[in-house]
Chains A and B, each alone.
Chain A
């Protein structure tokens, strides 16, 4: 079904290191003011978002992809999570196709408050 199931993958890090950043960082780093967000509690791991994204910039990854987090809490969460979603904010055009596609309304497009 998904690109992932066909073995199509972008070249991505195999060892994500998690750094905590704030909204200011995000605003400085990537231009649009609105960002894609994901409410983890609603996600049903259907990978539909990954599949529709025209830029292939939103990805559902195995939790063990996270190599190292600054905070233990985050690391624990990563170890117990069912999946880890990452998004390439530089690539993402905020077309919101993924938001529209998400069957459980887990994804949203919104502002980050600085």
Chain B
């Protein structure tokens, strides 16, 4: 649409009164208003005398006139130019369609003939639509007759015979209807027995897992090729390494031994946070929700555990030097080995 037709208030009120949702009513009212505007435009374009001088104008003249009118009305120039251009195009189309032979034999343009040249083609039935009240109220019987007549004509004349005769082959091309779909009988009988939220292991999970497997393998290959892992010198029982550190995953435990009695650091705490803690979890946290924002207690517990063990491990790894005494890595160097 070149110009905004506004809303046909009458139609809007009517549709709302009929109980249509407001959004639909508004759209339909807009359609009705546009249809009215176009009908008016078209009659002007066809030489109808709304402006008095419409008859002999060339499209260029129309463009200029409409532009001047709109500018005088105080429309912005840009809008005026666009609207004038649209009007000129309409006038041109109207002129072209007038020179076409026998427009009355067109079977029909669907709906309200758009823009130009609706006069001959859709007279009698006029603009259809519940919108503007001038609806094509074909009764179902009339409709049946119409279709029956068309079908009868078709059977008589063979499959290629058309009701309007051969010259109408491309008539109504103003409104070519696109075939959206042909609904097969199975389409309306389908039964959806399967759950929609079910996903199968193959391929949904297994493909992802396979990709992960490949990625991890590739990473390991690359990493092992780039990072050297040499063996150290032969072990000598007379010279033990200082500091003597556990593997990194036990460094947290070793760190705790610096603070507490071995009974507490090595047995009690690991026992509480290890087997007993794991057994206790389902009894401590009975919340079945899967959403993080509702599992504050569980997340808090796990975060505390994670932070504590991580800080113990980090300090054991990087802040303990000879004799497992505290060192600063930036002054005394790193005493961490894998």
- Using CB atoms, name the residue of chain A closest to B109: A11
Q: Return 6 A-B CB contacts under 8 Å, by A number.
A: A8-B130, A14-B149, A29-B176, A42-B187, A44-B188, A82-B184
Q: How far is the CA of A57 from the CA of B109 in the complex (A)?
A: 11
* Nearest chain B CB to A34 CB, angstrom units: 13
Residue ranges of B at the interface with A (Cβ–Cβ < 8 Å): 1, 23-24, 27-28, 30-31, 107-111, 114, 122, 125, 128-131, 135-140, 142-143, 146-147, 149-151, 154, 159-160, 162-163, 169, 172, 174-188, 190
Complex Cα–Cα for A84 and B187 (A): 12
* Alpha-carbon separation in the docked complex, A42 to B176 (Å): 25
Q: A54-B131, A88-B175 are in contact. List 19 more A-B contacts (CB 8 A).
A: A8-B137, A11-B108, A11-B122, A11-B125, A12-B177, A14-B150, A14-B163, A15-B107, A40-B184, A56-B128, A67-B150, A81-B183, A82-B184, A82-B188, A83-B182, A84-B183, A88-B176, A90-B174, A97-B23
| Smallest beta-carbon distance A110→chain B, Å | 12
In the bound complex, do residue A54 and residue B110 qualify as a contact, i.e. CB atoms below 8 Å apart? no
The reply to whether A62 and B147 contact each other, CB–CB distance below 8 Å, is yes
- A6 and B140 CA atoms in complex are apart in Å by 8
Task: State the CA gap A11–B138 with chains docked (Å).
Answer: 9
A7-B140, A11-B122, A56-B111 are known contacts. Are A36 and B180 too (CB-CB below 8 A)?
A: yes
Once the chains are docked, how many angstroms separate the CA of A97 from the CA of B110?
Answer: 20
Find out whether the CB atom of B187 lies under 8 angstroms from the CB atom of A41. Answer: yes
Minimum CB–CB distance from B190 to chain A (whole Å) comes to: 6
B111/A78 in contact, CB under 8 A: no
Q: Which of A8, A77, A82 contacts B136 (CB 8 A)?
A: A8
Q: Which residue of A lies closest to B32 (CB)?
A: A54
User: B178: which of A54, A65, A86, A97 is its contact (CB, 8 Å)?
Assistant: A86
By a CB distance below 8 angstroms, the chain A residues around B125 are 11
Which A residues are in CB contact (< 8 Å) with B109? 11
The CA of A87 and the CA of B143, in the complex, are separated in Å by: 19
Q: In the docked arrangement, what's the CA distance between A27 and B151, Å?
A: 32
Q: Chain B residues with Cβ under 8 A from A14's Cβ?
A: 107, 146-147, 149-151, 163
Partner of B186, one of A38, A41, A44: A41
For A18, the closest partner residue in chain B by CB is: B179
A65 contacts B136, CB within 8 Å?
no
| A10 contacts B177, C-beta separation under 8 Å | no
